[in-house]
Amino acid sequence: MRLIRISTNYSSYLTQFYTKHPELVTQPYQIQHQKMVLDCFGWADFWTNSLSKIGYEVWEQIANAEPMQKMWAKEHDVSYNDQNWLTDITKAQVKFYKPDVLFVDDYSSFTQEFILQLRAECPTIKLVLGWCGAPYSDASVFSAYDIVLSNIPELITTFQALGHQAQYFRHAFEPRILNLINTAHKPFIDCSFIGSIMPGKQAHNQRAILIKTLIRETNIEIFCDVYRPTAKGKLLNNLRAFVYDNVQSISKIKLGKNILQQIPKIKNYINMNYRPSLPNQLDNIIVNKANPPLFGIEMFQGLYNSKITFNNHIDISQNSASNMRLFEATGVGTCLLTDWKDNLPELFEPGREVVTYKSVEECIEKVKWLLDHPQEREAIAKAGQARTLKDHTFAQRAIQLNEIIRKMI
C-alpha cells in the first residue's frame, strides 16, 4: 500500500529552520527533507516510520517548504506557476508517486477543487483521508474526502451532522524523540507553557485568560510565537485596507473593474474575499512575558526541561481532552497539568498519571503544590510517561489507521 501525506508546516517554523540552516537552500531535496523531518516538527516522518513496519510505502511531503519543494521540481524537471507553486508542485508530486491513499493534512491550502483535480488526474488514488483538529472557515473541502479524521470528538459530531463520514482518531507520541533530546540533567524550569495562543472564534481565548493569571500568580515561563506589530506594519495594513475598500467599490462598476484589472498589484485586490487586517493581538502581559517559540526537537527539549508544563485545550474542544501536548509532554516524562475534560480518564488516570484542574484557582494551587512536593511530582511524571509509551505511540495509531484504510477501501 502506498500513501502520501500532503501537509504544511508553520511559516514561522520554516523561517526559523532555514535561518538556522541557510546552507540547505541549495542542497538536494532529499537532504533538505531528511534534515527537516529529523527536527521532529509536527508529525515529521512519524507515519513513515510506523506505517512502513506494517507494509506501507509512505511519503510525507511539506508543501510550503519553498526551497525544498522548488528543488524537487528542479530535480524532476517540473514547471510551475510562480503564483501557484505550492499546489502545482504538490500536484506533480502526487502524480509522480502514484499513491493508493492520499492523506490530506491541511484543509486550508488544499481546497475541494484541488483534491477533486488530484483524484481526476491520479487514478491510482483509491481513498482520500482528511484531517481536521482546529476551527475552519470553509467546510466545502470536507466533501472531497472519503472520511474525515479528527482528534476532537465534538468535530466528529459536527462532520457527521453535515453528512460526512468521520471518525475519532487520537494524537500520539513518537518514542524515537527520547533518543534525540538531552536527558542527562534534571528539569530546571519550574513551570512552562510551550505552544500557541491564538485569540479568535473557538480558538485559545480561555487559554489566554488562564495564562494571563498564571503569569501574575506563578513564575511560569511562556514560549510562544506572539504577534508584535511595528508602526510600519500598522501603517502598511491600514494602507492595504484603504486600497481594498476603494477597489471593491470601484470594481462594482463594469468600466471601473476593467480599468483596475489593467493595473498590476491593484488587480489582486478585486477577487480578495477578506479585508486586510492585523492579526488579533494578545494582552500585553502575555506579549511582554513570552519567550521566542520552541519548535520541533527544541520544543521537546523545553518540555523535558520543565518540572511542570501547563496545558489548556482549544475552545472548540469544549468537553474533550484531545490535543498533541497531552502525549508530547507525558511522552518526554514531564509532569502535565491539564484542564479537566470528561474523556480524560480514557487516556490517563487523573491524579496518578497527569494532574488536572477545573478552575484557574485550582490550577494555581496545583502548580504550587507540585513544586513543593518534588517526589510526588516526579512519580506522576514517570507514571504519565509509562502510560503514553504503553498506549499512545504512533506504532499503535498506525495499526488503527491501517484498519480504517482497509475497511474504507
Q: What values do phi and psi take at 346, rounded to 5?
A: -70, -20
Contacts of 131 (CB under 8 A, 6+ apart): 103, 104, 105, 107, 148, 149, 150
Task: Report d(CA 45, CA 328) in Å as an integer.
Answer: 15
| Arithmetic mean of pLDDT, 85-90 | 98
For the ranges 89-93, 196-200, 205-209, 265-269, the one whose mean pLDDT is highest: 89-93
Q: Which CATH architecture has domain 2-172+394-408?
A: 3-Layer(aba) Sandwich (3.40)
Secondary structure of 229-241 in the HEC alphabet?
CCHHHHHHHHHHH
Q: How confident is the model at residue 339 (pLDDT cuts 50, 70, 90)?
A: very high
Task: Report d(CA 330, CA 355) in Å as an integer.
Answer: 11
Tell me the per-residue pLDDT of 238-283, one tens digit each, with 9 for 90 and over: 666 676 777 677 777 766 667 767 777 676 776 666 665 555 567 7
Tell me the per-residue pLDDT of 319-333, one tens digit each, with 9 for 90 and over: 999 999 999 999 999
Chain centroid to CA 389:
22
Q: What is the pLDDT of residue 206?
A: 86
Residue in 323, 322, 325, 304 with CA at minimum distance from that of residue 381: 304
* Amino acid code (one letter) for 64: N
Task: Report d(CA 231, CA 222) in Å as an integer.
Answer: 25
Q: What is the pLDDT of residue 312?
A: 94
Q: How confident is the model at residue 137 (pLDDT cuts 50, 70, 90)?
A: confident
Q: Is residue 103 within 8 Å of 56, Cβ to Cβ?
A: no
Q: What percent of the chain has pLDDT over 70?
A: 89
C-alpha cell read off for 341:
475534560
Q: What is the pLDDT of residue 43?
A: 98
Task: Report d(CA 153, CA 301) in Å as an integer.
Answer: 30
Q: What is the pTM of this model?
A: 0.88
Q: Is residue 237 within 8 Å of 281, Cβ to Cβ?
A: no
Residue in 9, 62, 7 with CA at minimum distance from that of residue 33: 62
Flag whether pLDDT at 298 surpasses 90. yes
Q: What is the pLDDT of residue 135?
A: 85
Q: What is the DSSP letter of 126?
A: -
Q: What is the DSSP letter of 360?
A: H
The CATH number of domain 180-227+282-391, selected from 3.40.50.2000, 3.40.50.2300, 3.60.15.10, 3.40.190.10: 3.40.50.2000
Tell me the per-residue pLDDT of 37-84, one tens digit each, with 9 for 90 and over: 999 999 999 999 999 999 999 999 999 999 999 999 999 999 999 999
Flag whether pLDDT at 351 surpasses 60. yes
Q: How confident is the model at residue 233 (pLDDT cuts 50, 70, 90)?
A: low
Flag whether pLDDT at 229 surpasses 90. no
Residue in 236, 217, 194, 208 with CA at minimum distance from that of residue 336: 194
Flag whether pLDDT at 204 surpasses 60. yes
Q: What is the pLDDT of residue 273?
A: 62
* Complete DSSP assignment for 251-291: TTSHHHHHHHTTSTTGGGGTT--S---PPPPPPHHHHHHPB
Task: Write down the domain spans for the chain.
Answer: 2-172+394-408, 180-227+282-391, 231-269
